Amino acid sequence: MSGSTEKEISSDLENLETSLQEAIEAEDRQQVTELVDSISSNEALRQVSKMESEDRDSFISMLTPETAAELIEEAPAELAITMIQDLESSVAAKIMEELHSDTQADIVKDLGVEASEAILSAMESERADSVRMLAQYDPDTAGGLMELEVFSFLVSDTVAAVLKRLIEGDEEFERHRGQHPYVIDESGKLIGVVSLRDMLRSKRSVLLSDIMSTPISVLPDTDQEALAELFHDNPFLGIPVVDEQGMLLGVVSRLEVAEAELERAEHESLSRQQIGDELRSMPTWLRSRRRLAWLSSNIVLNIIAASVISAYEETLAAVIAIAVFLPMVSDMSGCSGNQAVGVSMRELSLGLTRPIDLFHVLRKELSVGIINGIALGILIGIVAWVWKDSAFLGLVIGLALSINTLVAVSIGGTVPLMLKHLGIDPAVAAGPLLTTVTDMAGFFLVLSLASLFMPQLLS
* CATH code: domain of residue 429: 1.10.357.20
Residue 145 placed within a domain: no
CATH code, 195: 3.10.580.10
Report yes or no on 98 lying in a domain.
yes
Q: Is there a domain that residue 110 lies in?
A: yes
Same domain as 200, residue 287: no
User: Are 181 and 91 members of one domain?
Assistant: no
Give dist(CA 249, CA 219) in Å, integer.
9
- Domain co-membership, 453 together with 352: yes
152-154 vs 182-184, strand pairing mode = parallel
Residue closest to 86 by CA, chosen among 103, 100, 107: 107
Q: Which burial class, exposed, middle or buried, applies to 24 when counting CB atoms under 10 A from its CB (0-12, 13-18, 19+)?
A: buried
Rounded to 5°, the CA angle 92-135-349 comes to 70
Burial 193-230 (b: 16+ CB within 10 A, else e): bbeeeebeebeeeeebbebbeebebbebebebeebbeb
Q: Evaluate whether residue 147 is within a structural domain.
A: no
One domain for residues 120 and 190: no
CATH of the domain at 57: 1.25.60.10
Reduced to 3 states, what is the DSSP secondary structure of residue 181?
Answer: coil
> Cα separation of 281 and 307, whole Å?
40
What lies within 8 Å, CB to CB, of 366 at 6+ separation is 406, 409, 410
- 144 domain residue, yes or no: no
> Looking at 236, 261, 286, which one is the last position of a domain?
261
Q: Which residues of the chain have pLDDT under 50?
A: 1-4, 272, 305, 308-309, 311-318
Number of domains making up the chain:
3
Helix (H) / strand (E) containing 184: strand 182-184
Q: Measured at the alpha carbon of residue 28, what is the angle toward residues 25 and 31, in degrees to the nearest 5?
A: 115
One domain, residues 353 and 423:
yes
- Domain boundary (136, 169, 200) is at 136
Q: In what order do the strands lie in the sheet with 190-193?
A: 152-154, 182-184, 190-193
Length of the chain: 459
Indicate whether 174 and 244 sit together in one domain: yes
- Cβ contacts of residue 265 below 8 Å, gap of 6+? none
Q: Of the residues 136, 162, 195, which one is the last residue of a structural domain? A: 136
Do 45 and 191 share a structural domain? Answer: no
What single DSSP character describes residue 179?
Answer: P
Whether residue 267 lies inside any domain: the answer is no
| CA gap 449, 451 in Å, rounded | 5
pLDDT value of residue 3: 47
- Do residues 101 and 230 share a domain? no
What 8-state DSSP symbol labels residue 150? -
The pLDDT of residue 172 is 52
Please state the pTM of the whole predicted model: 0.61
What would the pLDDT profile of 24-35 be if each residue is shown by its tens digit?
999 999 999 999
SS3 212: coil
Q: Domain for residue 412, yes or no?
A: yes
**Structural domain includes residue 161:** yes
Dihedral Cα 15, 18, 22, 28, nearest 10 deg:
50
> What is the H or E stretch that residue 138 is in?
none
Residues 317 and 434 in one domain: yes
Angle among Cα 13, 15, 16 to the nearest 5 degrees reads 60
- pLDDT of 448: 80
- Cβ contact 181:208 at 8 Å: yes
Question: DSSP state, 191?
Answer: E
Same domain, yes or no, for 227 and 354? no
Domain residues for the domain of 196 are: 152-261
E-strand spans in 309-351?
Answer: none
Q: Which residues, other chains included, contact 391 with Cβ-Cβ below 8 Å and sequence gap of 6+? A: 385
State residue 150's pLDDT score: 86
CB atoms within 10 A of CB 449: 20
d(CA 368, CA 366): 5
> Which pLDDT belongs to residue 242?
96
